Amino acid sequence: MGQKRFLEIGKITNVHGLHGEVKVYPWCDDAAFLCSFDTLYTDKAGKKPVEIVRARVQQNMVILQFAGCDTREQAEALRNTVLYMDRDDVELEEGCYFIQDLIGLKAVDADTGKEWGVIQDVMQTGANDVYSIWNEQEKKEYLAPAIPEVVLDTDIEAGIMTIRPLKGLFDDAD
C-alpha cells in the first residue's frame, strides 16, 4: 500500500483576534501535537507551505499564527482550509500509526487465516481505539478493540493487520 506523504491534521474553523491568528480544529490525538510543527501545508501535495510563527492550545482548539498573516482579513481568507502535515516531519513511536495508514488494511485472523474484512474507521473511545472492520461478503461490521490481546501485528506495507478476536467478540449471540 502506498502511504500518503501529506496527511490531514486539522481544519481552520475561525479567526482569533485582530492580528491574523486562526483557530484550528485538530484532527489528531492531542492538540499539542499540532503545535509541534514549524511548517504545515494548505494542500495535499505539499506545494503550499505555511510557516508557523506561534502556536498554542486553547481548550480543544489550536490557535496558530502564520508568517505573513497579520490581519483579521488575511486570517478570514483561510477559514475552512484543511491543513496538512508532512509525515517526514514526525517520528512515531514503535507500535503507533497514523489513522490514515490503518484505513484500508485487511484484518486477518491469526489462527484461521480468515479475512474478517477491511478497516474502514478508527474510533477513539478514550480507553483505547476501536477498529471498525467491514466485511463486504457478509455485509457486516465487526468492532475490534485496539489492544495487544486482539491486534497481534500491523504490517502497513503489506496492507494486513493480524488479529485474534477475543472469545465472543465477533460471534453472534445465540
Report the run of H or E that residue 101 belongs to, with start and end: helix 99-102
For domain 6-89, the CATH architecture is Beta Barrel (2.40)
Residue 43 in contact with residue 29, Cβ under 8 Å? no
Residue that the C-alpha cell 505573513 belongs to: 68
pLDDT band at 174 (very low <50, low <70, confident <90, very high): very low
The cell numbers describing 130, all together, are 476501536
- Strands 160-163, 115-124: pairing is unpaired
> pLDDT, tens digit, for every residue of 101-122?
999 999 999 999 999 999 999 9
List the Cα angle 71/68/44 in 5-degree steps.
110
Nearest by Cα to 110 from 171, 69, 57, 153: 153
CA atoms within 13 A on the CB side of 31: 15
Residue intervals of the chain classified under CATH 2.30.30.240 are: 99-163
pLDDT band at 127 (very low <50, low <70, confident <90, very high): confident
Neighbouring C-beta atoms of residue 59, cutoff 10 Å:
8
Name which residue leads in pLDDT, 38 or 96. 38
> pLDDT, tens digit, for every residue of 132-169?
999 999 999 999 999 999 999 999 989 999 999 988 88
For domain 99-163, the CATH architecture is Roll (2.30)
Residue 3 in contact with residue 87, Cβ under 8 Å? yes
> pLDDT, tens digit, for every residue of 1-43?
467 889 999 999 999 999 999 999 998 878 899 999 999 999 9
10 Å CB burial of residue 164 (0-12, 13-18, 19+) is middle
| Average pLDDT score over the chain | 91
The CA distance from 35 to 117, in Å, is: 36
Residue that the C-alpha cell 482550509 belongs to: 81
Residue intervals of the chain classified under CATH 2.40.30.60 are: 6-89
The cell numbers describing 77, all together, are 481568507
Dmax (CA) for the chain in angstroms is 64
User: Residue 166: helix, strand or coil by DSSP?
Assistant: coil
- Determine phi and psi for 48, rounding to 5 degrees: -125, 80
